Structure 1
Amino acid sequence: MTRNKIAVLIVLGLGVAIFFLLGLERYLSIEFLGTSVQSLRRDAQANAFAAMTIYFVLYVIVTALSLPGAAVLTLAGGALFGLMLGTLLISFASTLGATLAFLASRYLLRDWVAGRFGRRLEAIDAGLTRDGAAYLFMLRLVPAFPFFLINLLLGLSRMRTRTFYWVSQLGMLPGTLVYVNAGTQLARIHSLSGILSPGLVGAFVLLGVFPLLAKKFSETLSAGKIYARWQKPRRFDRNLIVIGGGSAGLVTAYIAAALRAKVTLVEKHAMGGDCLNTGCVPSKALIRSARLLSQISRSREFGIRSAQAEFDFADVMQRVQDVIAAVAP
């Protein structure tokens, strides 16, 4: 780990340590918010711009450092700024903080994880490249998944920062609206667990799974359109059709036939393909003859006083054809 990374890690660690050593978590509790909301409202109304700025920066810090209390801060946003303004502030602050946590995880841990779990990470990256936006959207919609964990884990992937940002902002918006709206009715709330009913959580789950189901349905529909021009046969004459009688095609057909499969091998030109007819076999036969002539011309290097060889290139090429004929069966 480089010095810069160590420095960043120390700064982040100090921030988290100070938060807990000073007991600041007590200010991010339902109890404190319920007893202080009136005075906080008066302060926010007296100096609205300063209150919004401080609140926005505080929210970004809490989410960027993955500190507990984001849910209570969201309630506070609804209580202090109302539904529309509170949602606007929290939507951008939460997404910005999540993106900072995402980037910190990538900067500090991505290289180490890639070096230790390279192949596994490549497979995950491939899946996220293909369907990452849909997966992230689903996870953001379901409050059962800790958002800070999503930030840190996706930071280890190759997901684009831009994709992470806009999908996160869109995916967290429904949950943000629910919590901000609850914050406007703060007097009725006694615990965070009472905000999300099982029915509401279930609705979020269905909303999150919908993009994946829609994608699967679209793929099935597209495949149906492609195959619609042909009638599906009731029975098949062959288990396997191999196109190309080169080295790969021959081995594939041979193994399948050995397993009692019904196989058809299709080759438009010469059996054996490039390897037998124009590549591996003829080139190696030609090289063998050339090497022998080279060694004869350097006979003294091998302790032989004199050695000569007469050759005709046509004879050498005839030998090449003989080798091909011998290998062909």
Structure 2
Amino acid sequence: MKSKKIILVLTGLAIVALFFYLDLGRYLTLESLKANRQLLQTFYADHTLLMVAAFMGVYIIQTGLALPGATILSLSAGAIFGPVMGTVYAVSAASIGATLAFLFTRYLLRDAVLRRFGNRLEGMNKELEERGINYLLFLRLVPLFPFFLINLAAGLTRLPLRTFMLGTFFGIIPGGFVYVNAGASLASINDLSDIASARVLGSFALLGLFALIPALYAQFKNRNTTTP
């Protein structure tokens, strides 16, 4: 079993090293996407299933290994597939990649981390087990927390896999749609900061607070119940 874990870890490290060695990040820029948009659309028209499979495969690997380029991939989904199907493909791929990162952390790194930080994680474990979906939705909706850090942190807790998958999938739909829809109007984007405006970020924060309401209400109710 240990040999399998070592192989998986080494494989992941090799992919990351290859990504940076070949400088593949140069293809994941706004300029590159604009320059190759027509080529990608033509390839999609001629090889629809292959294009969808390739896009989702790349997005899954990027998310699972926390490589750079998530924003450009979401924009690419809109530019190639359109806002609706682009959102479906991007959100599905990101959710699968996040789940792989979650499982990677839980089954390959969890024991070592828990031996060192187990006591500090106990409170978080309890909250996530009792009201996990609400907290996870809040983390996904509010763009203050890096996507890959949430995957790693959740993998170190006892959060059920099903809860993680559902919370991730539904929690990233709003943000995913914003970027994919922007990609469908790629010509109007000159900088990535044009997408994540203060109004958009504020809307996500508000959605995140709504997701926390059930958890906050339960805490308030329990506090009043235990107060003599």
CA change 1:200–1:85 in 2 (3 A) is same
Q: 1:215 to 1:125 in 2, by over 3 A?
A: closer
Q: Which runs of 5+ in 1 are unaligned?
A: 227-239, 241-329
Aligned to 1:194: 194
> Greater Rg, structure 1 or structure 2?
1
For residues 80-106 of structure 1, give each alpha carbon's deviation from its aligned partner in whole angstroms, at most 9, with x where no partner exists: 000111111111111001000110111
Relative distance call for 1:8 and 1:95 in structure 2 (3 A) is same
Alignment of 1:119-138 (within 5 A): 119-138=119-138
The aligned residue for residue 97 of structure 1 is 97
Tell me the equivalent position of 1:251: none
Moved more, 114-123 or 14-23: 114-123
The farther-off stretch of 124-133 and 107-116 is 124-133
The residue number in structure 2 matching 1:59 is 59
User: Which position in structure 2 is the counterpart of 1:288?
Assistant: none
Q: Secondary structure at the match of 2:145?
A: coil
> Which position in structure 2 is the counterpart of 1:174?
174
Structure 2 residue aligned with 1:78:
78
Amino acid at match of 2:183: G
What residue identity is the alignment partner of 2:82? G
1:215-238 superposed Cα distances (whole Å, 9 cap, x missing partner): 4346657988x8xxxxxxxxxxxx
Shift of 1:9: 1.1
Tell me what 1:46 maps to: 46
Deviation string 1:47-97 (CA, Å, 9 cap, x unpaired) is 111111111111111111111101100100000000111111111111001
TM score, norm. by length of structure 1? 0.65
Q: Which has the higher helix share?
A: 2
The aligned residue for residue 14 of structure 1 is: 14
1:3 Cα deviation after fit: 2.5
RMSD: 2.1
Judged with a 3 Å threshold, the aligned counterparts in structure 2 of structure 1 residues 219 and 155 are, in CA distance, closer, same or farther, namely: closer
Question: Offset of 1:144 from its aligned partner?
Answer: 2.8
Paired residues, number: 227
- In 1, Cα distance between equivalents of 2:173 and 2:23: 30
2:128·2:159 contact (CA, 8 Å) conserved in 1?
yes
Is the contact between residue 141 and residue 175 of structure 2 (CA under 8 Å) also seen in structure 1?
yes
Change in CA separation of 1:214 and 1:163 when aligned onto 2, cut-off 3 Å: closer
Higher RCO (C-alpha under 8 Å, 6+ residues apart):
2
Q: Matches of residues 1-329 of structure 1 in structure 2 within 5 Å?
A: 2-217=2-217, 220=220
- Structure 2 gaps of 5+ residues are none
CA distance in 1 between counterparts of 2:123 and 2:2 reads 27
Contact 2:131 2:215 in 1 (8 A): no
Relative to 1, partners in 2 of residues 1:86 and 1:120: Cα closer, same or farther, differing over 3 Å? Answer: same
Q: Which residue type is aligned with residue 86 of structure 1? A: G
Structure 1 residues 16, 134: closer, same or farther in 2, change over 3 A? Answer: same
CA distance in 2, matches of 1:86, 1:29: 18
Q: What is the DSSP-based 3-state SS (H/G/I as helix, E as strand, rest coil) of the residue aligned with 1:117?
A: helix
Among all aligned residue pairs of Structure 1 and Structure 2, give the percentage whose two residues are the same amino acid: 44
1:204 partner letter = F
